[in-house]
């Protein structure tokens, strides 16, 4: 199979494969977009240079080496690129466009390294929310109202952080929240998660519930498209595909390095477990299919362990018998 022929096959079958992922497999828009990016990366690889490529095991190994050495991708990105390529290769075989399974006989370890999640520390979350300055006041109508001096971007960012820290929603799930997903009392939010799975998350903080109530009340008075609450401009909504960063986190005054939205999800799980919430409830809140995924948060912080040891103080209790 020549280089040009493989390019033509990938290009011609890409659209049908992505449509299959969306309509038949029921993957979310974010997942389909990720698949599209992965196929584009593979297509760019086979287009480079004059070397002729065939979709076989050697090409997979060459591509793996390219991702590691030339692109210097992280393990998670490499794993996703190869998982997508394997799914696409299976699709091509079933469509009769390639004859062999390029992954047959290959021993590629795609398991992620055992790295602990890195939550944003409690004090750093407080610093960021303080810098955001989002406060509620009471309007003459008796309903809570935001300060008129508060910029919409700052308001949206602060609300996003509060929601992620308190519920552990993924940033991709956050951007899909619509006003109709929020209960009238602001206590429950319906989340559309990975693989089109739905779950409810609950708001334990009274101030945040009041804030969500206000957003629904405010939207009922004006025309609203039902998108992410408090986002008056589409560009102010954090987007997973654009890197998932919040603008104000990059201001020099906020000296907190490498804070990404997903770390707030780690924070939510860690804080809840440290406060003694049953791990099964945390699993359900985060939408983990397996409790083994949630268990990793029990090893993240020593705070709960230190508190338990201090409260127990077994040595002190033993020695007190002699005094």
Tens-digit pLDDT string for the chain (323 aa)? 555 588 899 999 999 999 999 999 988 888 899 999 999 999 999 988 665 678 999 999 999 999 998 888 988 899 999 999 999 999 999 999 988 899 999 988 877 667 778 888 888 888 888 765 544 333 333 433 333 333 444 677 888 889 999 999 998 888 888 888 999 999 999 998 877 789 999 999 999 999 999 888 887 776 554 544 444 433 434 444 434 444 433 333 344 567 888 899 999 999 998 888 899 999 999 999 899 889 888 876 666 677 777 778 777 777 776 66
**Total tally of structural domains belonging to the chain:** 2
Residues 55 and 8 in one domain: yes
Distances (CA, A) of 89 to 56, 200, 264: 10, 36, 36
Compute CA 303 distance to the chain's CA centroid, rounded to the nearest angstrom: 25
The pLDDT value recorded for residue 132 is 57
Q: Domain with 46 in it: what CATH number? A: 1.10.150
Counting Cα atoms < 13 Å in the Cβ hemisphere of 48 gives: 10
User: For the stretch 167-177, what's the b/e string if a residue is b when 16 or more beta carbons lie within 10 angstroms of its beta carbon?
Assistant: bbbbbbbbbbb
Question: Is 265 among the catalytic positions?
Answer: yes
Residues 152 and 42 in one domain: no
User: Which residues are CB-neighbours of 23 under 8 A, at least 6 positions away?
Assistant: none
Residues 232 and 146 in one domain: yes
Question: Is 115 among the catalytic positions?
Answer: no
* Among candidate residues 44, 77, 94, the one where a domain is terminated: 94
Is 100 contained in some domain?
A: no
The pLDDT value recorded for residue 322 is 64
Residues 245 and 133 in one domain: yes
Is 113 contained in some domain?
A: no
Question: Is 297 among the catalytic positions?
Answer: yes
Question: Is 126 among the catalytic positions?
Answer: no
> 199 has which bridge partners?
191
* Among candidate residues 77, 94, 111, the one where a domain is terminated: 94
Is 109 contained in some domain?
A: no
Question: Is 73 among the catalytic positions?
Answer: no
Question: Is 170 among the catalytic positions?
Answer: yes
Is 258 contained in some domain?
A: yes
Residues 298 and 210 in one domain: yes
Per the residue annotation, which of 162, 170, 209, 214 is the catalytic one?
170
* Among candidate residues 46, 79, 94, the one where a domain is terminated: 94
The pLDDT value recorded for residue 237 is 42
The pLDDT value recorded for residue 301 is 60
Is 317 contained in some domain?
A: no
Is 316 contained in some domain?
A: no
Per the residue annotation, which of 22, 79, 194, 240 is the catalytic one?
194
Residues 86 and 129 in one domain: no
**Host domain of residue 55:** 3-94
Is 237 contained in some domain?
A: yes
The pLDDT value recorded for residue 3 is 53
Is 153 contained in some domain?
A: yes
């Amino acid at each position: 199979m020549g280089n040009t022929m493989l390019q033509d096959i990938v290009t011609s079958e890409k659209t049908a494969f992505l449509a299959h992922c969306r309509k038949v497999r029921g993957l979310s828009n974010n997942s389909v977009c990720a698949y599209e990016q992965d196929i584009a990366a593979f297509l760019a690889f086979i287009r480079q240079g004059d070397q002729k490529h065939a979709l076989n095991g050697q090409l997979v190994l060459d591509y793996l080496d390219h991702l590691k050495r030339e692109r210097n991708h992280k393990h998670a990105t490499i794993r996703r690129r190869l998982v997508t390529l394997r799914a696409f290769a299976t699709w091509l075989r079933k469509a009769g466009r390639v004859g062999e399974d390029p992954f047959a006989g290959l021993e590629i370890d795609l398991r992620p390294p055992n790295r602990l999640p890195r939550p944003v520390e409690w004090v750093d979350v407080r610093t960021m929310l303080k810098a955001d300055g989002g406060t509620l006041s009471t309007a003459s109508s008796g309903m809570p109202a935001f300060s008129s001096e508060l910029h919409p971007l700052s308001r949206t960012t602060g609300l996003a952080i509060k929601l992620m820290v308190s519920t552990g929603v993924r940033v991709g799930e956050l951007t899909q929240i619509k006003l109709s997903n929020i209960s009238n009392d602001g206590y429950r939010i319906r989340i559309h998660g990975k693989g089109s799975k739905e779950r409810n998350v609950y708001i334990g903080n009274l101030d945040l519930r009041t804030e969500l109530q206000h957003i629904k009340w405010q939207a009922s008075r004006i025309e609203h498209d039902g998108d992410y609450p408090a986002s008056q401009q589409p560009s102010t909504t954090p987007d997973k595909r654009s890197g998932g960063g919040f603008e104000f986190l990059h201001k020099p005054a906020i000296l907190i390095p490498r804070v990404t939205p997903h770390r707030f999800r780690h924070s939510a799980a860690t804080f809840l477990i440290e406060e003694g919430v049953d791990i099964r409830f945390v699993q359900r809140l985060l939408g983990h299919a397996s409790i083994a995924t949630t268990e990793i948060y029990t090893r993240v912080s020593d705070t709960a362990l230190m508190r338990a040891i201090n409260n127990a103080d077994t040595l002190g209790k033993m020695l007190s018998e002699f005094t």
